A = this chain, B = another copy of it.
Amino acid sequence: MRLKTMGLAMAMLLAPAVQADEGMWMPSQLPAIGKQLRAAGFQGNPADLADLTRAPLNAVVKVGGATGSFVSDEGLVLTNHHVAFGVIQYNSNAQRDLIQNGFVSHERSEELPANPDFRLRVTTGFDKITEQVLAAARGKTGRAYFDAVDAISKTLVAECEREPGMRCSVVNMFYGRDFYLVKQLELRDVRLVYAPPRAIGNYGDEVDNFVWPRHAGDFTLLRAYVGPDGKPADYAKDNVPYHPPAHLQLAREGVREGDFVMLAGYPGITYRHRTAAEFADQVQWRLPATVQVMQQLQHIIEDTGRDDRQAAIRYASQLQSLKNNIKRFQGELDGLKRSDAVAVRRSDEDAMMAWLAAQPQAGTLRPQIDQVNQLIASVNATRERDLLLTLMSSQTQLMRSAILLQRLAHERDRPDAQREAGYQMRDEDLIAGTLRQVQRRYDPLIEKRLLIALLTRYQKLPDAQRLQAFDTAFGRTPESLAQKLDQVYGATHLGDEAQRLAWLKAEPAALGQSNDALLSLAAQLLPALLRMEDERKAREGDLLRLRPAYMDALIAYREKQGRAVYPDANATLRVSYGKVTPLKARDGVQYEPLTTTAGIVEKNTGVAPFDAPRPLLDAIAKGDYEGYADAKSGAMPVDFLSNLDTTGGNSGSPVLNARGELVGLNFDSNWEAVSASWMFDPRYKRAIHVDMRYMRWLMDKVYPAPPLLKEMGVPAR
């Protein structure tokens, strides 16, 4: 591994060009990096990309936690099958199984309303409000700083949302260095227009998830509607299609290896500008420790479930989730080790600090950066405890219910507006739901064994990490712990649904005085848990105040290196660019960047998830690809691979060519890219896209929808 490590480190030092395709840029940054954008092959004007009110960015849509784009002037929206899956499911039943069979609307009246909570959002404003926010917070520290930012943000959002149809939010970039007010037009009447069958949209399912080569047609078309007055409205029969100010144009030609591509969307979260100490913590402690504890919990559930089928069924979902998390964390860990992320980030930060020492701003920034490092060290000082107590709440059912009930009672003592998010009146239905589903997910033996595993680890922590209330409640020995849990679980009625729901309705004071053993235990622990939360927010406030110094230093250092810095992803609109790129998967194995319909046939077993529908297989056998296939090879493309910088949230992002035309639809990453949330390693990071030629061919030859093709400006052939 040493060798590869050296390779990357050296590549980073010697050839900054390999970094060129990394970046989730704010649109406003694009003019500044226009030169490198053009050098990469972009043929448009970078300044156009900075303007949210102009194409192409005003055609990009936020769809739930993911992305989509307008592809006609009558509100047609293209996104992934998996992003729109809830809409397809909502309209399916035993008589009309749209998941299995897909859906083709032949005229407007056939379009099917989405589930009522489904929303599309178009970002229309992105105003820098750093001064306003900091004016409110400056001079404060810790929790007060945190609360001040929170309060001014709420005020600004409330003002902004006075405009009907608008949803607003305050986001910060570079970890508190800059603040922006994001304004989004919210479209509430969305309808299903076209969806391929599951066996096309999700061909390969879990087996192919994170896998290249891929062969899914993961796309769906929706349509946004507005009231007859053109304003956002709830679903109504008389609503009319929304006319977006602009839409994307499907390319007439396809992509080849090496072609320039770019992508716009709403990537969720990355950690690339975290400090070297945080990288070390993530790789050396957090990921391995979390995997280790989760594996212990997994084994408890599996072992107990072997002798008790009923219990196994009740914990199937929790077990699946544990296994998914373990796999993902392990993948992230493997990737970060493969990229030698800790050493690379450390040497980069060391170089930055050495450079900073000779700069005029060192006197201001250096002390703040030192404080950031101290704060991170203080977070790490209790990381074992924090992990265990977080799992104690998240991995139990009755214990979680008891803490939830006590916490809610605590919040109810305040006016609703001042309650903690998640414990307000509007959240109580959700809480009731959580309390109800315990019934299908709880087994006393498993819960006690999980708690014994977690709290035995807790008991072994050094004094400085332990909390008095927990020591008092569970004692300091395995015997006292087991005895306490036996006693509490033997004398609680929270296992009874009616009891749980009754306590939800009870007066706060009654909960404090409850003689239910578990509620009483939760009451005993609550003050310590609240204190932990308060400490966490105080540290977050200080980090929000101080990290900007670290980012200032980093941005200045990168500027000296001739490189711009993009903020870590935070679910705001970003643009990345790169090219259609193969992947050297491992020694001797080269993944080509385009797949073809031949691969669908190769993978097809007739059994889900590789059960390509008969019409698709017939069309492939017929080979009527004219106008869609690659001119040179004659092969019909399905998906393609690029080195575009993406993360969760980029699902459904439009992929554009050098002329800004739509050539692909982003829908996944490769497994090796799991660690890209921390470090973009150009050797391994790839994004997976549906080739628009495949979508057009399906809509022309397999499940035809000529009016829709015409509407998108690419008529059937």
Q: Which residues in window 570-599 of A have CB below 8 A to B?
A: 585-592, 594-596, 598-599
Q: A2-B621, A621-B3, A623-B3 are in contact. Are A602 and B587 (CB under 8 A)?
A: yes
Interface flag for A685 (CB, 8 Å): no
Q: Which chain B positions have C-beta within 8 A of A621? A: 2-3
Instruction: Report A315 CB to chain B, min CB distance, Å.
Output: 26
CA distance A596 to B589 in the complex (A): 11
Could you say which of B213, B590, B598 contacts A3, with CB atoms under 8 Å apart?
Answer: B598
A1 at interface by CB-CB < 8 Å: yes
Chain B residues with CB under 8 Å of A602's CB are 586-587
Q: Are B2 and A213 in contact (CB under 8 A)?
A: no
Residue A591 contacts which of B2, B212, B588, B598 (CB distance < 8 angstroms)?
A: B588
Query: Which listed residue (B213, B601, B623) contacts A588, Cβ 8 A?
Result: B213
Q: State the number of copies, please.
A: 2
Find out whether the CB atom of A587 lies under 8 angstroms from the CB atom of B596.
yes
| Given the contacts A3-B621, A3-B623, A621-B2, A586 and B601 also touching, CB distance less than 8 Å | no
Determine if B588 and A594 form an interchain contact, defined as CB atoms under 8 angstroms apart.
yes
Instruction: Indicate whether A4 reaches chain B with its CB closer than 8 angstroms.
Output: yes
What separation, in Å, do the CA atoms of A621 and B5 have in the docked complex?
Answer: 11
For A452-472 the 0/1 string (1 means CB < 8 A from B) is 000000000000000000000
Docked-complex contact B586 and A213, CB < 8 angstroms: yes
Number of interface residues of A (CB under 8 A): 25
Query: A166 at interface (Cβ–Cβ under 8 A)?
Result: no
A55 proximal to B (CB < 8 A): no
Separation in Å of the A211 CB from the closest CB of chain B? 10
Cβ–Cβ < 8 Å partners of A589 in chain B: 213, 585, 589-592
Q: Which residues of B contact A599 (CB under 8 A)?
A: 586-588
Which of the residues B3, B215, B585, B586 comes within 8 Å of A587, measured between beta carbons? B215
A705 to chain B, nearest CB (A): 25
Chain B CB within 8 A of A620 CB: yes
| Contact A590:B587 (CB < 8 A) given known A1-B601, A601-B1 | no
The chain B residue sitting closest to A592, CB to CB, is B588
Interface string of A594-632 (1 = CB under 8 A from B): 111011011000000000000000001101000000000
Contacts of A1 in B (CB 8 A): 601
Q: Which chain B positions have C-beta within 8 A of A598?
A: 3-4, 587
B-contacting residues, A491-505, CB 8 Å: none
Most chain B Cβ neighbours within 10 Å, of A215, A588, A594, A623: A588
A588 touches B212 (CB 8 A): yes
Question: Which residues of the other chain, B, contact A215 by a CB distance below 8 angstroms?
Answer: 587
The majority secondary structure among interface residues of chain A is: mixed
Point out the residues of chain B lying under 8 angstroms from A212, CB to CB. 588
Does B213 contact A587, Cβ atoms closer than 8 Å?
yes
In the complex, which of the residues B588, B592, B594 contacts A595, with contact meaning CB atoms closer than 8 Å?
Answer: B588
> Are A595 and B587 interface neighbours, CB within 8 A?
yes
Bound complex: CA A278 to CA B2 (Å): 55
Query: Contact at B594–A3, with CB atoms within 8 Å?
Result: no
Closest to A595 in B: B588
B620 lies within 8 A of A3 (CB): yes
CB distance from A416 to the nearest CB of B (A): 55
Q: In angstroms, how far is the closest chain B Cβ from the Cβ of A620?
A: 7
- Please report the C-alpha to C-alpha distance between residue A589 and residue B596 in the assembled complex, in whole angstroms: 11
Q: How far is the CB of A196 from chain B (nearest CB, A)?
A: 19
A602-B338 Cα distance, complex, nearest whole Å: 10
Interface residues in A638-657 by Cβ distance below 8 A to B read none
- A151 CB → nearest B CB, Å: 53
Q: Which of A470-501 contact B (CB under 8 A)?
A: none
Q: Which residue of B lies closest to A586 (CB)?
A: B602
How far is B2's CA from A4's CA once the two chains are assembled, in angstroms?
43
CB neighbours (8 Å) of A595 from chain B are: 587-588
CB distance from A265 to the nearest CB of B (A): 24
Complex contacts, A4 vs chain B, CB 8 Å: 598, 601
Nearest chain B CB to A670's CB is how many angstroms away? 12
Q: Which of A1-46 contact B (CB under 8 A)?
A: 1-4
Cross-chain contact A601 with B3 (CB below 8 angstroms): yes
Residues of B within 8 A of A588 (CB): 212-213, 591-592, 594-596, 599
- Contact residues in B for A587 (Cβ distance below 8 Å): 213, 215, 595-596, 598-599, 602
Residues of B within 8 A of A592 (CB): 588-590
Distance from A48 Cβ to chain B, minimum over Cβ atoms (Å): 34
Chain B residues with CB under 8 A of A2: 621
A599 to B213, CA, bound (A): 20
A590 to B4, CA, bound (A): 22
Residues in B with CB closer than 8 Å to A623 are: 3
Residues of B within 8 A of A585 (CB): 589
Please name all residues of chain B whose beta carbon is closer than 8 Å to the beta carbon of A586 when the two chains form the complex: 213, 599, 602
Instruction: Tell me, rounded to whole Å, the shortest Cβ–Cβ distance linking A516 to chain B.
Output: 46
- Cα distance A250–B526 in the bound complex, in angstroms: 77
Q: Which residue of B lies closest to A1 (CB)?
A: B601
Query: Quick one: closest B residue to A641, CB to CB?
Result: B588
CB distance from A600 to the nearest CB of B (A): 8
* Smallest CB gap from A2: residue in B: B621
Q: Which residue of B lies closest to A598 (CB)?
A: B587
- Least CB separation from A7: chain B residue: B598
Instruction: List the 4 closest pairs (A to B, CB-CB), nearest first.
Output: A587-B599, A213-B588, A588-B595, A590-B590
A to B CB contacts below 8 Å, 28 in the list = A1-B601, A2-B621, A3-B598, A3-B601, A3-B620, A3-B621, A3-B623, A4-B601, A212-B588, A213-B586, A213-B587, A213-B589, A215-B587, A585-B589, A586-B599, A586-B602, A587-B595, A587-B596, A587-B598, A587-B599, A587-B602, A588-B591, A588-B595, A589-B589, A589-B591, A589-B592, A590-B590, A590-B592
Binding site for B on A (CB under 8 A): 1-4, 212-213, 215, 585-592, 594-596, 598-599, 601-602, 620-621, 623
14 additional A-B pairs beyond A588-B595, A590-B591, beta carbons within 8 Å, are A3-B598, A3-B601, A3-B621, A4-B601, A213-B587, A213-B588, A215-B587, A585-B589, A587-B596, A587-B599, A587-B602, A588-B591, A589-B590, A589-B592
